[in-house]
Structure 1
C-alpha cells in the first residue's frame, strides 16, 4: 500500500470492473465544471487514474447533497444507487441510469426508501442465484444502542423494492459510537453508527464489510460479519474494526470500503482515509488477506 491513489477529495469510494477497465465513483465536493454530482475516475490497472468529471445530473428544485454512489450493470444498463438529502438530514435512497459507466446518469424519479426517516449508503448485490438485494444504512431509535444500523431488502427489479426490509446488524460495542449526547429527532442519545455495507460471497459464505464509529475522526474503521444467506442471520466472527483501523500503515479514519478483483485476480479493498492535514478523504486500495479468521489488509 503506497498512499492515496488519487490526489483529490474522493470519499465513500466504489470501484466497478467492466470490460477490462475499472471505474471509481465517490462522494465529492463537486464533479468538476459540468455541474454533475459524484466524480468518475477510470483506470486500466487500479494504479493510474483519470478523471472524467461528474457522474449524476442533479435533481431539479432545491439543492441537495449527494452521498455514496455505487453502480451495478444489468442488461446493458448501468444503475447508480445513491442518497440525496439536505445537509445530513432527510436522506433517502434513489437510483439513476446510464447506457455507459461514464454517465451521465439520470435520476429515475424514485424514492426507494419512503418509509425510512433517514437512509444512506446503498449497496446493490446479486447472489449466485441471480437475485438482487439492496443493502443500506438507516436510523433506529429503539434498543440499547440507538443510532444508524445496517439493513437489506430484496429487489423485484433494479428499480423496485421486492420485499420487506430486514435488519443486518446493529451496534453492539463502544467502538461504534459516533457521538455521545448527540441531539437527534428531538432527543439526546449516545449515537452509534454502522454504515457503508458491502457484501461479497467467498468460500460458501456471504461476507458483509461495514464501517463504524465517526467518519470525522480516527475512531472510524471497518468490521466484518458473515452469513449463510444474504438476508442473514449475520454474525461477527471477531469483534471490533478488524479489517481496517486507524494507525495501520499510518491510516487516519479509514473506512467506507468496497471490494474489487484486481488485474492479477487478487481481492482488493477500496476505501477512503484522511490525509495528514485532515482536509481530504482520499482514495486508497490494498490487497485483502483472507488467510486469518477475519479478512484484513496485508500489513
Structure 2
C-alpha cells in the first residue's frame, strides 16, 4: 500500500511539473526558447507566403522581410500583390517576387514551381484560406454549395500539401528550413455553422503534426499555428481587442512561439481561449440555442 501511494504521489508530482513547464513556455517563450538575431537568415534567403497580399499573410511577409529575408508573395489579386511588394521593398529594402495565382484552381502549381525552384527558401508560410461565407450558416444553407466545396478543398487543403511538396524537398536536402501552416482555433472542437471550414483546418493541423514527426530529424521545423480572432477581411475587420489581434500583432507574437513545439495558438490569450473552448461540452456547441446566439454575435461583430 505504501508503495502504491508513493507511485501515485510521484505521478501527481510529474503531472504538476509538466503543467508548470507548459505554463512557463506559454508565458515566457522568449526565456525558454530564445531566437538568435540571425535565426531566419541562417535558414536561407527567401520566405514564400501564400495569401501574402493581405491580412496575416501580408503581415508575415512584412515581418520576415524586416528580419532579413527576401519574400515571394502569392495571391489572387495582382494589384494587391504589387502594392504589398512596394511597401516591403521601400520599408525593408528586400527583394520581392509576386506571383498572381488563384488557389481555388488546380492548374497553378507548375507555374509557381518554375519561378521559385532555384531559390534558397528559408520559410514557407501556408496561410491562404477562404470561408464558405462571412456569416456562419448550416452546410446546406451555404450559397453555391457545390462550388464552395471544391474551392474550399483546393484552397484550404490542397494548396498546403502542394506547396509542401514543392518546397520541402529542398529544405530536406539543405537540412534546414521552417514551414508554418496556418490552421485555426476552430479545429480544436466540432464547430457547427463553420463545419466545412473547421474541417479543412483539422486537416491542416493533422497534416502538420504528422509531417513534423516525419521530417524533424532532417532539420526542418514544421509548426501548426492555430489563431482565434485576427482582424482581417475574413473576419470582417473586427476591431482589435484582448482576444482579436491585428495581423501585425499576431504575427509578431506567433513567431516568438516558433520553437515551443509542433503546434501553437500563437499568443497567451489565444492559448487560454483554446484551453477554455476545449472544456465546453460538445452538446453545448451542438445545441440550437448556441448556434443561433453565435450566428447573431458574428453578424453583430461584422456590422460594427
Task: Tell me, yes or no, whether TM beats 0.5.
Answer: no
Which structure has greater strand proportion?
1
Computing the radius of gyration from Cα coordinates, the structure with the larger value is: 2
Which structure has greater helix proportion?
2
TM-score, with structure 2 as normaliser: 0.30
